[in-house]
Amino acid sequence: MRIYNFAAGPATLPLEVLEQARDELLDWRDGGMSVMEVSHRSKAFVRVAEQAESDLRELLAVPDGYKVLFLQGGATGQFSAIPLNLAGPDATADYLNTGQWSKKAIGEARRYLNVKVVADEKDSNYTTVPLAANLAFTAAAAYVHYTPNETIGGVEFPYVPETGGVPLVADMSSTILSRPIDVARFGLIYAGAQKNIGPSGLTVVIVRDDLVGRARELTPTVFDYQAMVEAGSMLNTPPTFGWYVAGLVFQWLKRQGGLAAMERHNRAKAARLYDAIDASPYYGNPVDPVCRSWMNVPFTIAKPELEKTFVAEAAAEGLANLEGHRSVGGMRASLYNAMTMEGVEALTAFMAEFERRYG
Ligand code: PMP
């Protein structure tokens, strides 16, 4: 039986995609073996890889002049790869700190260059983002880095920062493909796959051509964008199964109507859950309403001593993985593309019933 999986990542995947992967697992394309067992250099797999890239480009309307890479090392690997590829050791990069994932990116970047934290939302306990008008960037910065959606805090930027020509780098791990974006605003976009793209183990990087070919000499070759571009992301063995499943997810997204349809779907799901939270004094969400995440919704209950009961009873009803991140507690429901409105409605119905019994 399938449950509703509200995990933050690895996260729920579209049922149709899982069924297709299952149906062709043992005998992929009449080859008598699974896609996991074929060479990444075989014609059949190269076709999968190329189709996935072309579908991703179509979904995101990636303009000419950008490379799309399918890498390993997670978003965390990119925390290092970005400074190593985009700047020398004496350079300065601007970072916005809006929560735990920005902080991790900052910590890693500090090992490689001068980090200037140009905005830090700690006074709000990371429940908001800086006002666009308050942002001032270093004119000579190598790049500006930010986290459009903080997966743990449930805080999302309602705008794209205007950097005045400095390349903008975005960790889109938990928001990519949730709605259309204007890729031309960004110098580099990266995302771990395990939320809206596919299984863990794959990292997508979309990078503007002028930012490729500048890696420091000591950059590990697997993290050197130029080397990976030249090799079609196959400098070494790529995560073939993850790439294949990502390709199935991209085709599923196209069948759903693309990212404009996803935007409507995701906006409606998030509104349904926030409305339920706001309608009752029993539930709370601390995030500034203008930057509440559509993808990750943290919430509290009036009696925190009942959190474990809430999570356990929800799980018993097929609503899984609602505990908040271990660092913040409370609850969190992640509503990625593959989460259905029925799942959200089952959750809000459970919340109402829990409040009736324990409120
Ligand atoms: N950035 C964000 C916004 C994330 O949500 C995560 C993972 N939850 C990471 C970075 C780290 O990703 P990975 O585990 O792929 O390194």
Tell me the pLDDT band of 328, cut-offs 50, 70 and 90.
confident
- What local confidence, expressed as pLDDT, does residue 307 receive? 96
Provide the phi-psi class of 121: left if phi over 0, else alpha when psi is between -120 and 50, else beta.
Answer: alpha
Give CA separation, 116 vs 125, 135, 160, 271, 299, in Å. Answer: 20, 13, 19, 35, 32
- What local confidence, expressed as pLDDT, does residue 51 receive? 98
Taking the centre of ligand 1 as the mean of its atom positions, its distance from the CA of residue 192, in whole angstroms, is 6
Residue with tokens 């990976």: 228
Taking the centre of ligand 1 as the mean of its atom positions, its distance from the CA of residue 197, in whole angstroms, is 13
Using CA positions, which residue lies closest to atom 15 of ligand 1?
Answer: 74
Find, among 251, 142, 241, 166, the residue nearest to 199 by Cα: 241
- What local confidence, expressed as pLDDT, does residue 305 receive? 96
What is the best residue among 101, 176, 195 to mutate for testing ligand 1's pocket, by most ligand atoms within 8 Å of CB? 101
On the question of pLDDT at 161 being above 90, the answer is: yes
Which residue in 171, 224, 243, 269 is the catalytic one? Answer: 171
On the question of pLDDT at 241 being above 90, the answer is: yes
On the question of pLDDT at 230 being above 90, the answer is: yes
pLDDT in tens, 294-322: 999 999 999 999 999 999 999 999 999 99
- What local confidence, expressed as pLDDT, does residue 327 receive? 85
Peptide bond preceding 289 in cis form (omega within 30 of 0): no
When the pLDDT of each residue in the chain is averaged and rounded to a whole number, the result is 97
Q: Could you count the other beta carbons within 10 Å of the beta carbon of residue 134?
A: 8
Check if 233 has its Cβ closer than 6 Å to any atom of ligand 1. no
Using CA positions, which residue lies closest to atom 3 of ligand 1?
Answer: 173
Tell me the pLDDT band of 39, cut-offs 50, 70 and 90.
very high
Phi, psi dihedral angles at 106 (to 5 degrees): -65, -45
On the question of pLDDT at 326 being above 90, the answer is: no
**Active site includes 171?**
yes
Counting from 1 in the atom list of ligand 1, the atom nearest the Cα of 193 is 15
- Choose between 326 and 48: higher pLDDT: 48
**Active site includes 90?**
no
Could you tell me if 149 and 172 are in contact, meaning their C-beta atoms sit under 8 angstroms apart? Answer: yes
Tell me the pLDDT band of 291, cut-offs 50, 70 and 90.
very high
- Virtual torsion, Cα 95, 98, 103, 109, nearest 10 deg: -10
Residue with tokens 């076709």: 47
Check if 192 has its Cβ closer than 6 Å to any atom of ligand 1. yes
**Active site includes 101?**
yes
Local structure of residue 13 (DSSP, 8 states): -
- Virtual torsion, Cα 123, 125, 129, 130, nearest 10 deg: 10
Tell me the pLDDT band of 359, cut-offs 50, 70 and 90.
confident
pTM flag (> 0.95) = yes
Report, as an integer, the average pLDDT of 20-37.
Answer: 97
Taking the centre of ligand 1 as the mean of its atom positions, its distance from the CA of residue 256, in whole angstroms, is 26
Local structure of residue 310 (DSSP, 8 states): H
Full set of structural domains in the chain with CATH = 15-255 (3.40.640.10), 258-358 (3.90.1150.10)
Provide the phi-psi class of 105: left if phi over 0, else alpha when psi is between -120 and 50, else beta.
Answer: alpha
Taking the centre of ligand 1 as the mean of its atom positions, its distance from the CA of residue 354, in whole angstroms, is 32
Q: Chain centroid to CA 23: how far? A: 27
SS3 call for 176:
coil
Using CA positions, which residue lies closest to atom 5 of ligand 1?
Answer: 151
Which residue in 55, 67, 103, 195 is the catalytic one? Answer: 195
Report, as an integer, the average pLDDT of 80-86.
Answer: 98
- What local confidence, expressed as pLDDT, does residue 333 receive? 98
Q: Which residues contact 58 (CB under 8 A, 6 or more apart)?
A: 254
Counting from 1 in the atom list of ligand 1, the atom nearest the Cα of 200 is 15
Q: Could you count the other beta carbons within 10 Å of the beta carbon of residue 36?
A: 10
Check if 74 has its Cβ closer than 6 Å to any atom of ligand 1. yes
Could you tell me if 204 and 191 are in contact, meaning their C-beta atoms sit under 8 angstroms apart? Answer: yes
In the chain, the amino acid numbered 20 is Q
b or e along 289-316 (b: 16 or more beta carbons within 10 Å of the residue's beta carbon)? eebbbbbbbbbbbeeeeebeebbebbee
Which residue in 28, 67, 94, 101 is the catalytic one? Answer: 101
Tell me the pLDDT band of 1, cut-offs 50, 70 and 90.
confident
